[in-house]
A and B are shown apart, each in its own frame.
Chain A
């Protein structure tokens, strides 16, 4: 039960709020009885003093109700708002702690809605619960009890009315629930359509497919309309029905009351009070149906939030799991950390059943080595390197970094030593300076500039109107793909990691710039283990070792010359890109 800890934390305040709601409701409930008292004992007996006394008492009780309501308001607001804030931040932290494996079960858009809308809905419901939702039943039941106490005979009518109303409310909830759930689902669909349109707007415009998009949207929009209308119409019968039932009760009370009054079985004040209580019951019931739609939405939201909390982070590590191995040294022994070893590693995204993205991979690299990885699209290059910082855990086999099995290492300690430049560049809102400093929070301005220079980004940054302070993201400067990639490289370099992973991160950078980055790296990355994924052989041909991948398998490894001699896949790749250029210049 993901909400257990909040219950433990807030149940006292929650009960306090409920207590004050009860007092508040109690004050409301006293009114008709006091009124009956005034009529029967004050007015009927012409006792002015009694009228004033009781009237004063009414005002006093009212004042008490006001105080209770105010306290309840403060307590309830605190509970609900703090709960909401906490839930939101716990959920945020939870998502951050999830492994990619568990996270891939949700699409990113839905995670975002869960964090924003769903949490707010649950929070609003909780707040409402401590206000009207609890008050309504208390008043309803309280009014029932007071009515029975006031006059037993008249209560027989309630005996008939109440069960009918209960049946109506139950029916209402049963019929409504599934319908409103459907409304929620169709709303999700509308949102998905819009999200997709927004992400693909360039393609839609390029292909002029507005009609198609419009049609798709119209379909989901229409479905949403039909379902909401349907749900609301199903509900529209119940409110009048409940109202009518209670109102018939009132008529009956008046009718029977008249007879009993005539027979002197009933004081007239009781009759007035009884009618009053019945109206209170009616209002309470109507409130309940109003609450109901909110309840459905909140329940669905709570479920969606709970689903995320239920995800377990499958990754484990030994607390004492330090960089051990043969050196037995701690993190200080830099040289030993850079070694990477894969032993028969197999991994697939769909778990054991899925077709493997990495199939029985075995290789080793010494600290300070630079390894190139080449292979065709979808051959598993990215999957291979994503295993090293434990984005995913291998299904079988063993990966050792610095002679330690990484499954024994805390992922965050491991990632401390690794810098990765992902294939798809992701920069964050903020200045360029902030973005580069992401890699090393305490970096000085000079370090940032140095990293930018190494990544060949310094020059274009300086040309921007606000150079390093230029803002990225919304309403910020418009950087080209290659420029973003270079900032992303600078962000990794400033970290001075033991292991540097470059995942085809210069695809949008022109050749000249790429060559300059590479030569800068050569001096900078001395002693750094470097994994270089590339499409182009030119990018990797001067590395110490090249791994050639095909369909998840490592087909060969060796230096450029060795591979050129013996590896067929490598030869094919080589011919496909280099042969041509060499030829012309030789000619």
Chain B
């Protein structure tokens, strides 16, 4: 909760103003029952025991004034609070998103998107509810309790004592209930998280679920978790549900006590009727905030839990900041050197083992090898999605950790195995590579990637809106867009990670022509399984089990009759049979 306070930052002055309003309205609310009691007493205050109209009028005028100012102040207060709470929430949401931008890829790879989503949305939402509703309620509740207590004490200490019997009851009850619900709510959240995980997975993979007739089993799994969730949440509900009605009952016990004790005292002439009326009002004001707190208890709990989950992300280790004095890589030439590079995504599973190579500028290097050999990992290291665990990587003669990340990544153009397109028009997606490109440049890039033809066939051409991840395009078409995007960005180092694996070979031929043009004057890394796509590379590196096995041109490697030869031979045999 304290950390949340920081997000109020510049709003603190306004918040103090709001709290001043809250205090004022609460005090006015506290004054009202007293005024009502005095009004009733004024009705028998005249010398003959009749109504003292002069006094009554004055009291009522004061009461009207109190009510009006209470109304105005509470309006102002909620008006200000609406603006303030939403600004705070926006800021919190913004800083969470900003944080997501700074986290390393490792973070995203090891977490399900659904779970992260729910932090940015649900949890922030919970915090928002807490901030906008609960803070004011808590504040006014507190003042209400204290104010009422003071007024009661002033009016009649004895009757106050009688009313206060209920306080220990409230305290014990609240403590008893919350100690149980706390645990139960936590458990409930955990089960809910599990359930949501299952939901997300099943729905994303629904095609497989259906193809394998796994609906029944998946539903059964769902039922299991759902059943557990039901058990826990039922208990949590029942326990937390007891709090409110019981507080209501305690409220009534308070009134009954006042009636009895007050009644006895009034009969004995120690107390006026108006005083009893005021007291009933106060005892209600005294218990009502407690009541309200019981209601907002759930909101509050989930708000706190939400804040915790949000801060958990905010506390994650960020992508290591650029080294002090990191330099901007400008006009990169694209000379890449790996020196004894070691790396593993997990400590116990090494992926790359002492890999060294030198790719001069404007050369093309192909990486081949069986799946899982570590080809994509090399790309991940080069772009600093991950940092090496041993050795170093040099670009233009300097360790890449000496450059600012931004300038480093700007010199790469990557076409990945799985393309990702954003919702928006096709034009927006191509321009993603270079937002300030002219229409002509954009069209040129698209033509170069052989995407122009199919885009023009679409009803809205370049203005076609893509659905999430370009679901309305075929996988090959998506890849063409991704390639156009990179062509437009004109990077000095080009990385093609299985870029054409899902494009048919006829189209691939056209693209390769285009890529050849783009590759000219650029250092290029090509990852491919199909050896025909890489034969013209300046150097071919065969990687297997995290080690660089062979390196050389196609002809040299063929002559060597080593691993590459074997692979090529296999492919060739395939053709022959």
Contact = CB atoms under 8 A, between A and B. Distances in A.
Contacts of B215: 93, 96-97, 412
A43 B117 contact: no
5 contacts: A74-B241, A85-B230, A240-B74, A473-B112, A573-B506
The secondary-structure label for the interface of chain A is helix
B87 A225 contact: yes
Nearest to A257: B43
A284 interface: no
Contacts of A47: 267
Given A236-B75, A241-B71, A415-B213, 11 more contacts: A51-B264, A69-B245, A203-B416, A217-B94, A224-B90, A268-B40, A271-B40, A474-B110, A508-B529, A537-B505, A582-B575
B403 interface: no
A276 B280 contact: yes
Interface in B336-378: 345-346, 348-349, 368-372, 376
Interface string B199-219: 111111111111111110111
B549 interface: no
A221 B90 contact: yes
A415 B210 contact: yes
A128 B320 CA distance: 47
Interface in A521-569: 535-538, 541-542
B42 interface: yes
Given A76-B241, A228-B86, A206 B383 contact: yes
Given A190-B93, A248-B67, A429-B197, A55 B263 contact: yes
A415 B200 CA distance: 23
A116 B196 contact: yes
Interface stretch (B231-239, B325-333, B440-448): B231-239
A11 interface: no
Interface in A486-521: 486, 491, 495, 504, 507-513, 515
B149 interface: no
B381 to A, nearest CB: 14
A581 B501 CA distance: 17
Contacts of B86: 225, 228-229, 232
Interface stretch (A101-109, A141-149, A361-369): A101-109
B114 interface: yes
Given A38-B263, A218-B94, A377 B477 contact: yes
A48 B204 contact: no
B267 A46 contact: yes
B567 A483 contact: no
B372 A482 contact: yes
A207 B207 contact: no
A377 B503 contact: yes
Interface string B391-406: 0000000000000001
**Top 4 closest A-B pairs, CB basis?**
A482-B371, A377-B476, A69-B245, A55-B260
A375 B506 CA distance: 9
B226 interface: yes
B176 interface: no
A77 B256 CA distance: 29
Given A93-B219, A112-B203, A376-B506, A418 B82 contact: no
Interface string A90-134: 001101110010010001110110011100100000010001100
Question: Interface on chain B toward A: helix, strand, loop, or mixed SS?
Answer: helix
A196 B468 contact: yes
Interface in B116-152: 116-118, 120-122, 125, 128, 132
B208 to A, nearest CB: 5
A330 interface: no
Given A62-B253, A254-B36, A512-B566, A240 B248 contact: no
Given A217-B94, A259-B51, A194 B245 contact: no
Nearest to B100: A197
Contacts of B192: 116, 120
A151 interface: no
A533 B489 CA distance: 34
Contacts of A511: 529-531, 567, 570-571, 574
B201 A428 contact: yes
Contacts of A48: 264, 267
B277 interface: yes
Interface residues of A, number: 184
Most buried by B among A55, A192, A218: A55
A576 B509 contact: yes
Interface stretch (A2-10, A23-31, A161-169): A23-31
Contact of B376 (A206, A279, A439, A480): A480
Interface stretch (B9-17, B101-109, B516-524): B101-109
A34 B58 CA distance: 30
Interface in B432-470: 432-433, 435, 454, 467-469
Interface stretch (A208-216, A317-325, A339-347, A393-401): A208-216
A233 interface: yes
B273 interface: yes
A65 B245 CA distance: 8
Nearest to B118: A116
B400 to A, nearest CB: 15
Contacts of A54: 259, 263
B355 to A, nearest CB: 16
A561 to B, nearest CB: 13
B210 A391 contact: yes
Interface stretch (A152-160, A170-178, A298-306, A419-427): A419-427
B409 interface: yes
B487 interface: no
B27 interface: no
Nearest to A43: B266
Contact of A576 (B277, B412, B505): B505
Interface in A256-294: 257-259, 261-262, 268-269, 271-272, 275-276, 279, 283
Interface in A20-68: 24, 27-28, 31, 34-35, 38-39, 42-43, 46-48, 51-52, 54-56, 58-59, 61-63, 65-66
Given A96-B206, A191-B121, A31 B255 contact: yes
B139 to A, nearest CB: 16
Query: Most chain-B CB neighbours within 10 Å: which of A199, A206, A508?
Result: A206
B64 A251 contact: yes
A411 B215 CA distance: 12
Interface in B31-72: 32, 36, 39-40, 42-44, 50-51, 53, 56, 60, 63-64, 67-68, 70-72
Contacts of A261: 43, 51
Nearest to A120: B192
Contacts of A66: 245-246, 249
Contacts of A423: 475, 502
A443 interface: no
A391 B207 contact: yes
A315 B423 CA distance: 31
Given A207-B432, A243-B74, A112 B121 contact: no
A58 B255 contact: yes
A116 to B, nearest CB: 5
A85 B573 contact: no
A194 to B, nearest CB: 5
Contacts of A200: 420-422, 469
B508 interface: yes
Given A93-B219, A262-B50, A511-B571, A65 B252 contact: yes
A77 B234 contact: yes
Contacts of B234: 77-78, 81-82
B276 A117 contact: no
Contacts of B63: 250-251, 254
Given A103-B206, A112-B199, A236-B75, A251 B371 contact: no
B36 A415 contact: no
Interface in A439-475: 439, 441, 460, 464-465, 473-475
A289 B230 CA distance: 30
A378 B474 contact: yes
